[in-house]
Amino acid sequence: MATLPRDDIELYYTDHGGDGRPVVLVHGWPLSGESWEDTVPALRDAGYRVVTYDRRGFGRSGWSDAGGYDYDLLTGDLAALLDELDLSDVTLVGFSMGGGEVARYVGRHGESRLRSVAFIGAIPPWLLKSDDNPDGGLDMETARGMQTSFRADREAFLDGFLTTFFSVDGELVVTEEQRQRALELAAQANGDAAAACIVLWTSRFTDDVARLSVPTLIVHGDSDAIVPFEVSGKRLHEQVAGSELVVVEGGPHGLLASHTDLVNRTLLEFLAR
């Protein structure tokens, strides 16, 4: 465990597995790097070097908007971490919002450090529903309303959001203990950072995705009530030539907890190629 200084904040990360081929895991909202706690051991024990980190403003990382909190800033943190650790032949794995950093990293920083990428329940290519993107899943008015609700009553908002996160057809498909664990991780987030991210979910990644040429894995639940498969996973697969798509039957958004073994096995099979 260590910290990485970056423009007056500390970016918290963990580094497991020594000299193995590196896999960098990027977490979703409103969690932290600890949300990968059931995945890290499986990858580490298979011989990979596994790096997790807390997005700025989340978990144990510091908070600064550095004049503007957007995906370019967040992806700059990811790039700084890869540079600091001098990682190469990397597989980037992004869950949910973390898929945005993976896509934008390719768009802004290229693939010279990368071996492959994986998206799990991820928001690319473009979640926003608008006149330009009528098949999107989240319109800006709804996103702004969610942001307002979060700021008005954070505890109630997160309680409802993380229930939907782990539910299929309104029924929780993980244990209450797992849901409470997610609420604990969410409670660590800076309120301003967490609120700002809600609007960032509507960011456009189509240009970033178009630059992907490394092997790409897409894993998505067919019952995802947060990031619908038809809006994101299906379209991402269609836009990335040669990508591998794994659709999890009965899978909610929170696949890392609900389908841990399947996700870990799928990642290991992909990494072994």
Proportion of the chain above pLDDT 90, given as a percent: 93
pLDDT tens digits, 48-65: 999 999 999 999 999 988
- How far apart (Å, rounded) are the C-alpha atoms in residues 176 and 242? 38
pLDDT surpassing 80 at residue 242: yes
Taking alpha carbons only, the member of 69, 64, 59 closest to residue 12 is 59
Report pLDDT for 15: 96
Domain that holds residue 263: 2-271
Written as one string, the DSSP assignment of 156-182 is HHHHHHHHHHTEETTEE-S-HHHHHHH
- How far apart (Å, rounded) are the C-alpha atoms in residues 246 and 257? 17
Whole-model pTM?
A: 0.97
Q: Which two tokens stand for residue 244?
A: 């591998």
Cα angle 38, 52, 143 (rounded to 5 degrees) comes to 90
pLDDT tens digits, 20-30: 999 999 999 99
Give the position of tokens 């009965």. Answer: 250
| Cα 110 from chain centroid (whole Å) | 19
CATH classification at residue 86: 3.40.50.1820
**Which of these is catalytic: 224, 237, 258, 259?**
224
Proportion of the chain above pLDDT 70, given as a percent: 99
Mean pLDDT along residues 253-260: 98
Active site residue 109: no
Active site residue 27: no
Active site residue 259: no
pLDDT surpassing 70 at residue 174: yes
Report pLDDT for 3: 81
How many domains would you assign to the chain?
A: 1
pLDDT surpassing 70 at residue 1: no
- How far apart (Å, rounded) are the C-alpha atoms in residues 219 and 129? 22
**Which of these is catalytic: 243, 253, 258, 259?**
253
127: left (phi over 0), alpha (psi -120 to 50) or beta: alpha
